[in-house]
Structure 1
């Protein structure tokens, strides 16, 4: 932190007071005067004290750009959520109206039972985890002073924050164990919804892989049928057949693309979880590792409890039955930690592997 919070607030009051004294003489709208006062504050902050460096100058100059990006992302979050719902609903409509009748007519009873059981389990998991990750608050530090330890002061909120807490410019608040702001959820991914987010990514990727593999032959048949009919038009190639073939192609292309992209993202988050770190902490820990390596020292992540224990903490697994009730089935249980303290393992030591 480069500036003293009280000094910055004093400077902002001075700029606003000078703007207010001219309010009676100026005919400009209030929002223009506020923007102008903010720009003056940014310019004055460039030479505010002797501790100014390139990072401070960069943050000050590009602050309007950051604000614009945050505002646009905040507004487009609702559009992205609607897009997820529309695309997922379109795939479900194709599966139920086109693919399911084909499966019932052509597959054996055992295969039909497998597709019905797995497909509906996958669907329930997708809907549950997406809803929970979108509506569950990620968690914020308390606004009143308590006994929780704080490690820093947020330069945006001017409030103390505990370990693993970072400020989200889009949500305009500090988030406990913040991973990132996800526009597809229109929500931050933090301490209380991180598990929902990862589970949604995992089951959605699994569902897309399932649709891609199950429909690969239908896709080839539909593609070849369209190509053949375009080259040699036939009077019996009805609009319904053409529509069905295009729907199958659309489903296969969309699910295959999402499977690759979302599968890579899910794998990356799985690696981070195994290391006991978030996306933000990945960059912080990398910098600390390089900084200490120059001094001949080794950096150790204080929140890494071991690969298996990291997954237990993340998934909220306290006993063996929880792998079924809390992982393989929809579960709304809270994390084992409160997100404020991370001093020790949040479960009994006898549950740790020998």
Structure 2
């Protein structure tokens, strides 16, 4: 028997008109919700592009303010309290060393491009057909999309070994500048801890009643010391969390994006009774050298990127654990 168009098959009842109406409205609401989410994400991307330069200026201002307070107020106050000259010179030298490394690594993280993949073969660059590259193509920027590369919706381009887009550096964190980003956080945390330790006694004096302060302790100096000490403490605590997370990512050879992807893969494998392993986890030592170059950890040369060896590779391909295991 031939069925007419739109009629249900035998044995199946047609949904009630009310159910059809509800389903249509639900689909319309879902489409409207999806459009609203997409619009919110686009607005967030625009906001990050606008706020990026302002966040960089704010970061430079905060670092400069704390450094000014340390060198022009805290150190002279320590000298007035009877700190010996050799100790004072050592404190100044260590402070200068930390400040120079903070600004150097921050400048490199801001100014250095995170790593843009080459054009897709056949899209204007005949040399882009390197066999080491994956043949995937990004459908948004139309460039090659090597393994571990992701498209940044803020920068509007793909980034090799993309970790995240950081508004504090107005740049993506990727293959080329990840070690500078990590070292900036490390030196910034050391600098904040240095100010917190050396300025602790002066901070207590600055928040004490005026009659209990030393006679040469001006009100403006007390305000600068208390504000700088609180800023340093807050930034240090925040960096302990963020820096600790990135230290874990470094030793496990993951990016922030891959951390969330691997966590989902790990849960899916656990439900199947299997064990998921990150294919790029080569062991702590090799993972560390993937980010900071072929430099030994205990030699601490990796902390000075202007002297240390650069990381190997081009960012287009990465060794996997299957390549290291014997067949």
TM-score, normalised with respect to structure 1: 0.74
Q: What is the distance in 2 between the residues matched to 1:137 and 1:333?
A: 19
Structure 1 residues 1-354: aligned runs within 5 Å = 60-105=35-80, 106-145=82-121, 146-147=129-130, 148-150=132-134, 152-226=136-210, 241-318=218-295, 323-328=299-304, 330-331=306-307, 334-343=310-319
Q: Secondary structure at the match of 1:337?
A: coil
Tell me which residue corresponds to 1:30: none
1:135-163 superposed Cα distances (whole Å, 9 cap, x missing partner): 00000111142123326443422444111
Runs of 4+ with >3 A deviation: 54-61, 225-229, 318-321, 323-326, 328-334
1:130–1:197 CA contact under 8 A, matched in 2: yes
Determine the structure 1 residue equivalent to 2:21. none
Residue 18 of structure 2: aligned partner: none
Q: 1:152, 1:160 within 8 Å by CA — same for their partners in 2?
A: yes
The two structures, once aligned, show a CA RMSD in angstroms of 2.8
- Pairwise CA distance, 1:64: 1.5
Q: Could you tell me how far apart the structure 1 residues matched to 2:260 and 2:30 are? A: 16
How has the CA–CA distance of structure 1 residues 136 and 285 changed in structure 2, closer, same or farther, with 3 Å as cutoff? same
Flag the 1:329–1:96 CA change in 2: closer, same or farther, 3 A.
same
Q: Structure 2 CA distance, aligned partners of 1:306 and 1:61?
A: 43
Normalising by structure 2, we get a TM-score of 0.80
Deviation at 1:253, TM superposition (A): 0.7
> 1:153 and 1:56 mapped to 2: Cα distance?
28
Gaps of 5+ in 1: 1-46, 230-235, 350-354
Answer yes or no: is the 8 Å Cα contact 1:141–1:176 preserved in 2: yes
CA-to-aligned-CA distance 1:210-266 (integer Å, 9 cap, x gap) = 10011111000111134868xxxxxx989x711111111111111111110122111
Contact 2:295 2:302 in 1 (8 A): no
Q: Which segments of 5 or more consecutive residues in structure 2 lack a partner in the other structure?
A: 1-23, 122-128
* 1:174 match: secondary structure: strand
Number of residue equivalences: 287
Residues 125 and 330 in structure 1, CA contact (< 8 A), matched pair in contact too = no
